[in-house]
Amino acid sequence: MLSMLRRLFEKTYTVKSYDNIFLENLEAFYNALHSTGGYYTYKCRRGRCRSEIKLTKRDTGLVLETPGLYISNCRFICRGDGLLLPPPPTEEAPIQYSSGEKGFVIGYAGNTPVYIGEEYLWRHIAIIGSTGSGKTHTAARIAKCAPALGVTVVVLDWHGEYPSIISNYAETKILAGSKLPRVGLSYEAIPLDLSLSAIESVLGLSQFQATILGLVLGYLVEDHENRGDILGALEEILAGTASSYKQSRLKTVLDKLEKKNTVEALLRTIAFLYSERSLSPSFTRSEAEVWLALIRRIGIIASSSYSDLFIVKRRTLLDEVEENKINIFILSTIQSPRIKKLYTLLILQLLYTLAYTSAIGPLVVVIEEAHNIANTDTLQHILAEARKYKLGLALVSHTTQILPSLAQSNINTIILHRISEADQSLYNIPRETIEIAKKLPPGKTLLLTPTNQPVLAEIKIENPC
């Protein structure tokens, strides 16, 4: 009886659409709806969903006159599905953590702070949004607040935007141009296959080309008693050449490479191996093309514009990074996308090594344009293994298609800004959430975690952490 009386005095509406004007006034709308005794529901049953706004008949002007909200009247039951509205600001913190856990305020849902617990950092964060949506400011907010938790931050800044955003709010160390640390193609402290994987992926090396490069780099990092095996393997590859003294000659050339330790010397070493192999009667034109392609790819790194970024073997890991500070690597001066990608992966591999050897404390790495390295073994390996060493990644991208499915389960939190494409590849984001994200104004985000409902929040870097 009571429900029948309620229906007599209630009006029910389904949401057809809404625009940015409505989103900007979302908090005021929910407050007004609550004050009249009205409410909004979104329920699904047996594959059908209903999105309804219910309020008394005397207050129907609230939904009819709300700017940017477009609704349709339901006589008794809303037959259509209706469009999912963004969630209302809650009275309690939408994302909470226990009182014993450290964290910081990422943004506000209305006047309610939205917290990111420290543990969220180690489970990785994806920040997605189209150009101008505010994703860089969100990443800068994380970079600004994390040091207060005793966390070191490294920002791999592809466009040189972060110093102007962060410098007014936090102490930073800027590494740009000649101050960028030189990275090694090999390290004694890093398994060679990990370094080689990044090089192989970026340069597009074939298995044969990667084997040649791996043997040359392996000679530099292996113990001296193992170098004879490497010389023997190279001798087999050069079998049939006219040189009867090739192994001793190989040793002389590789020792000279170790002494000079430059990418230019590496290029000359590969060219020497090619010239030796080309003397063999069994040498074919197709094999020559493979060798020459390897020389061209090494030549990209050895070009005068980028040779100062790399050395063949580096003995120390990355002592340029200062702990408990924001370290910004400005990569915008690297014009070649391929070189920028390789440098990013090698820096990332170094940071991971620092973390798992406990050479550095808790660490968060912000990676701009993360879609450029999404399909590499290096990134996938770090996403899967880094949590146990308190290394967290914040991946910033304009597209939700940033990771293969194998790595998606290692990202705990998604911060979704306005997007332009209806893509659901990451975490199978529901269609309704995608539709909301398409209309978000700059600075507004949807925070998605596995254990919470989506939270609509506004993020400003200038707010206290």
Tell me the pLDDT tens digit for each residue of 435-456: 788 888 888 888 887 766 778 8
- Which pLDDT belongs to residue 451? 67
- Which pLDDT belongs to residue 362? 93
Q: Could you give the CA distance from residue 136 to residue 127 in angstroms, rounded to a whole number? A: 8
With beta carbons less than 8 A apart as the criterion, state whether 179 and 332 touch. no
Q: Quick count: other Cβ atoms within 10 Å of Cβ 189? A: 14
What single letter denotes the amino acid at residue 397?
A: S
Q: What string of DSSP letters covers 32-73? A: HHHHTT-EEEEEEETTEEEEEEEEEGGGTHHHHSSTTEEEEE
Structure tokens at 17: 């659409």
DSSP 396: E
User: For the chain, which domains are there?
Assistant: 2-74 (3.30.70), 103-181+318-458 (3.40.50.300), 206-311 (no CATH)
- Given a cut of 50, the residues of the chain with pLDDT beneath it are 1-7, 91-93, 97-98, 241-244
Q: Hey, which bits of 151-295 come out as E strands?
A: 152-157, 172-175, 183-187
- Which pLDDT belongs to residue 2? 35
